[in-house]
A and B are shown apart, each in its own frame.
Chain A
Amino acid sequence: GENVEQHPSTLSVQEGDSAVIKCTYSDSASNYFPWYKQELGKRPQLIIDIRSNVGEKKDQRIAVTLNKTAKHFSLHITETQPEDSAVYFCAASWGNQFYFGTGTSLTVIP
């Protein structure tokens, strides 16, 4: 089955700096890669996703890149703000099977 690894597990950045979270996957059949943000005590919310036929996608301050050959994808948050503090999960999916990374706890220091 699929194996998704996510790094780092914790990340602290100064407000205004950029944050990068990386994930790798093992199954070349995976073709959909969403990223979720989970604030304390709340449900994970989809923030951005990318499909295997696209190399990069951007939505305001967040962007995701995908390298199919190397089987890794990354989340980039620019101009970080305190409200970006949360746990972020990546996932790799094929069909109706979703495999989540172990999460990254991001803290943005004001």
Chain B
Amino acid sequence: GAVVSQHPSRVICKSGTSVKIECRSLDFQATTMFWYRQFPKQSLMLMATSNEGSKATYEQGVEKDKFLINHASLTLSTLTVTSAHPEDSSFYICSAGPGTGASTDTQYFGPGTRLTVL
């Protein structure tokens, strides 16, 4: 139980385009989902906290107009990178939890999305 999926796993796009990443909790409901960015050999950098039915809470330094987050249901949150530039290239990971139906109170991570902006 407590599986989180993320789609797509890998995306390459041209500079200036927008990219949407989906994060789904498959077998539990998560009122809260988190979006992280991870650079090679570095820690998870929290970008924003996404709460179902309300606006996301962004961490300091993260542009809310550039990284649009929508949490429309208890099992789905999306991150849209708008007008992507090469410096946005990174590994984006979502996590979900705590939630109902999960076996513990921890966070469960998606497999990540490798974004490359040319």
Contacts and interface: CB of A to CB of B under 8 A. Distances in A.
B107 to A, nearest CB: 6
B54 interface: no
Interface stretch (A38-46, A52-60, A74-82): A38-46
B79 to A, nearest CB: 16
B44 interface: yes
Contact of B109 (A44, A97, A101, A103): A44
A105 B43 CA distance: 10
Contacts of B98: 96
Interface string A70-100: 0000000000000000010101010011101
Given A45-B109, A96-B32, A103 B42 contact: yes
Interface string B71-111: 00000000000000000000001010110000011111111
B106 A43 contact: no
A100 B93 contact: no
A102 B43 contact: yes
Contacts of A42: 111-112
Contacts of B31: 96
B28 interface: no
A89 B43 contact: yes
Given A32-B106, A49-B104, A96-B31, A101 B41 contact: no
A75 B112 CA distance: 25
A91 B95 CA distance: 13
A34 to B, nearest CB: 5
B106 A100 contact: no
Interface of A: 32, 34, 36, 42-46, 49, 87, 89, 91, 93, 96-98, 100-103, 105
Interface of B: 31-32, 34, 41-44, 46, 49, 93, 95, 97-98, 104-112
Q: Which 7 A-B pairs rank lowest in CB-CB distance, beginning with the nearest?
A: A43-B109, A102-B43, A103-B43, A96-B32, A34-B106, A44-B109, A43-B111
